[in-house]
Every structure is written in structure tokens, then in C-alpha cells.
Chains A and B, each alone.
Chain A
Amino acid sequence: MTDVSRPLPDFADPPVIEVALSVQFEAIKGLRTPQLGLLWSEFREPFRRVEEHPPLDAVVERFGVKHVAIRPSIQLRMLEALPAPRCWFLNEAGSELIQVQADRFIHNWRKTAADQQYPRYHRLRQSFEQELGRLRGFLQREGLGDLVANQCEVTYVNHILAGKGWREFGELGQVLTVCDARYSDKFLGAPEDVRTALRYIIRNGQGEPTGRLHIVVEPAFRLSDGQPMLVMSLTARNRPEGEGVGGVLKALDIGREWVVRGFASITTPAMHGIWGRKDANRDS
């Protein structure tokens, strides 16, 4: 459970390379390829480039579901027509983009240059809110209805290069607090590599589950020199906190808090020092 009285962890040089704010809603049947093309004109300045990609599957954080394999392994869906694509509207630098499909709207920021600074959540949130408003205005003018949001998602992707605070994948415990390699005996040594996937339940003030924080850490290599790195993704996915755009933004704020506090909680104080942690009231 979060303690809103504590300021959020703050880092001068966080290893974040991508942030995505997303809202999923009930599929708008009329939002197909031609309409997406018209929609691009709403965002053409500054998103001058467009790409098409396959649509993302809908995902809902559910609770109380039993995990017995009665269900088919393939998600059931009707294939009445070719699915409409997911369109990317990108700025010239490719550093920010909007992704739109019949049931999803996403704003991404990504680091495209070494000296590029993370613009911070509040600026991205402001952009997201404005762009979502433009989408809603478009839907209204085209008679396509309004958004009925059902999930909100905040994702942060971090690249943690070896050489600062850790060297080998077997030293994951130097980076993550949950990976302290303690064995019952001396049979096993350091692992060759480690993959970690964790899920945490997000609860509201009444203790009810409203979403999940997913943390995935994967080993990777820089191609140019083979230097090890860790790719750490944190995704907070939860239900809207009320109706309308306000409910979506509130849910994104909660998700962002879980991502930031989760990142600080799961990484070691030694790494915090490397990333320049600034907040005064951090737990020891």
C-alpha cells in the first residue's frame, strides 16, 4: 500500500529509456483504417510520420480467476473482417509517438539520443491528456461515440548497463533487492544469467485489488561490444478511477506512483547512488 505522505523517489539520472501512457477502451467498431487516416490529420503537427503495425491484444487485470486449464490456449475472438491496424504517429525525431487502434490509445516517449533527457511524467501526462481530448473530439464529430475506458497502463523501460554497480549477470543481487543469491549449501555457484518476472497487486484505500504492477528483468547484450545489460520493464495496469478522462488520468497517476516506488523498492541503495537519488525522506 502506498504512503502518499512520502515524496516520490526522484533520480537525477534514471536509466529510463522509454515511457508509455496507455488507455484501453471498449472497441470502437467504426475506427477502422480510413478513419485512422482521417485521425492522423488531427495529430499531424508535430507527428508527421505514420506507420502501421498489427493491433495489440486487449489485456485486463482480473482477480478471483481460477488458474485451472479448462480454457483454450488461444484467446477466443471473432474474425468477421481483417482487424484494423495499430497506427503510429511519430514526430520527426522519433522520440515521441502516439499509437491508436480501435480499443487503445498510447503516448510513448523514448530516448533517441544519448544526451536526451527524460522529460518527466507531468509533461508526458499533459501531452497525453491533450491528445486524448483531440481523439474524443474526433470520435464525436465522426459520430463514432465516446471512449469507455476499462484499463489504464503506465510502462517504464530501463536499460541498466554493466560496469556501474555490477559486472556479471550472476551479480543480479547487486542491482535487485529480491535477487539476493543465498543457497542452502555450496553446491551451486553464481548463475550464468537470471530472468525475473514479478507481479504485485495494486490495492485502493479500502484494500480492494484494482490492478497489478508487473516487473520483468531480462539479461541482454550490447551488440557493438557485447557488454552485458539488464532490461527492466515496469508496467502498472489498473482500472480507471471513476468515469471519463478524469478517471483515466487518476488511474495513470496511481500507476506511475507504483512504477516509481516499485523501481526504488526493488533496486538496491548502491544503484540508487549511481542514479543520483535525490529525495530526502527515503527509507534506509
Chain B
Amino acid sequence: MPTETLERPSAEYISDAEWLASRRTTTFPAQAILSAEPPIRLIGSPMGGFILTVGDASPPWIKPAVRGLSALLELPSDWDSYGGVRIKPEIVIAALNLLFETMQYDSPAPSIVPTSRGGIQLEWHRNGVDLEVEFVSPSRVRGVFEDRQNGDTWDRDLFYDLGPLTKAIAELSHNR
């Protein structure tokens, strides 16, 4: 965040160009020598967009989630016959990033539903739990949770605090 170097005359004041961070030793092993292969690789495609490769060790929910989200990008204008607008790609990305941050390995894949306004809704209805997460924009995310067994409910913003969502996903991931 602070600005990069510029050429400036120095007196007692030290400009950015005049100090050198200490790099005398390497303290941590490079990632390359670690033995675990990451289960998911992501690279930018030269044609634009991205390529996500998913290995055998990746969570089972990844493929259906990515497939479902990618399909939404194909929906044309007026896709719902009520004037529905095209789904915004930045919302697809936000939804996938949110899943990466909150899902467990064995969590069930969500139903992935487009909204007429170009947003996305992720839904789970199982194990007595109803959970819906709606993306109106990448940073306007709202979730609704209801536990039919114990009556717990919440309806809240989910852009900054993912704790309730992580907990809810954990609850619906396991049979009770």
C-alpha cells in the first residue's frame, strides 16, 4: 500500500530508494519442496476467464458447484421470461470464493439459483435446516437460516462475518 520508490535527494531523511530491506537469510522452505499436491489449481486462461483443475483429492462439492455457477453465466437476457438480466460474472466469483472459505470437505453442494436481478442464491435444505445465501452484488450478501428442529433462526449480512454461515454449513453437513 505505501507508494513505491521514487528518486529523491536525501539529507537525514531517508527516501524509499535509500533503504534496503534485510534479506540475509531464507527462513522458510519454498512451497515447491513440500510434498502435498494442492487438490485444486487455478490458472488464468490466455483467452480470458479462468481454468480450474480439480484433482482426485479435492472436495466432492467443487465440481457440481463450479458446474452450476458456470451454467448461470450462459443464461441470456430475459432468461426467466420476466425480464431477468444476465448473471454478473463478479458475483459468480464472489459466490465461489465464499464457498471456498466456508465449506468443509464433506459439505453438500448447494443448489445454485439465479435471481432475476442478475444475482445468485445458494441454498441448502436438508437435515432439518434451511439455509439461503443471496448475492445481490459481490459485497451485498445476505443469509437466512432456519433450524426446523430447534427453532433457531437468523437473517443477516454475510459479507464481513462468515462465522454464522460456517457454523450453519457444519450443521447441515452432518446427520443429526
Contact = CB atoms under 8 A, between A and B. Distances in A.
Contact of B6 (A26, A69, A94): A94
Interface string B17-34: 111111011000000000
A78 interface: yes
| A-side interface size class | 35 or more
A65 B166 contact: yes
Contacts of A222: 14, 18-19
Contacts, number: 157
A219 B137 contact: no
A60 to B, nearest CB: 7
Contact of A219 (B6, B21, B93): B21
Q: Which of B52, B100, B165 has the most CB of A within 10 A?
A: B100
Contacts of B10: 114, 224
Contact of A210 (B2, B42, B97, B160): B160
B82 interface: no
Interface residues of B, number: 58
Interface stretch (B101-109, B118-126, B146-154): B101-109
- Among A56, A68, A70: residue with most chain B CB under 10 A: A70
A75 interface: yes
Interface in A219-272: 219-224, 229, 231, 233, 235, 239
A60 B159 contact: yes
Contacts of B138: 26-27
Given A26-B137, A63-B162, A76-B50, A112 B101 contact: no
A69 B10 CA distance: 45
B93 to A, nearest CB: 5
A157 B11 CA distance: 19
Interface in A74-92: 74-81, 88
Contacts of B39: 70
Nearest to A56: B1
A74 B42 contact: yes
Interface string B55-98: 00001000000000000000000000000000001101100110
A108 interface: yes
A205 interface: no
A153 interface: yes
Nearest to A64: B163
Given A76-B42, A80-B48, A148-B137, A223 B20 contact: yes
Given A69-B38, A219-B21, A209 B161 contact: yes
A20 B1 contact: yes
Contact of A66 (B25, B41, B166): B166
Contact of A64 (B21, B24, B38, B164): B164
B45 interface: yes
Interface in A184-243: 192-193, 208-210, 218-224, 229, 231, 233, 235, 239
Nearest to B10: A224
Contacts of A172: none
Select the residue from B50, B96, B97, B160 with max chain A CB neighbours within 10 A: B160
Contacts of B100: 70-72, 76
A112 B18 contact: no
Given A63-B160, A64-B162, A148-B139, A235 B96 contact: no
Interface of A: 17-18, 20, 22, 26-27, 53, 56, 60-66, 68-81, 88, 94, 97, 99, 106, 108, 110-114, 116, 148, 150, 153, 155, 157, 159, 161, 169, 192-193, 208-210, 218-224, 229, 231, 233, 235, 239
Given A70-B40, A74-B42, A155-B1, 5 more contacts: A18-B2, A26-B139, A70-B103, A116-B13, A224-B18
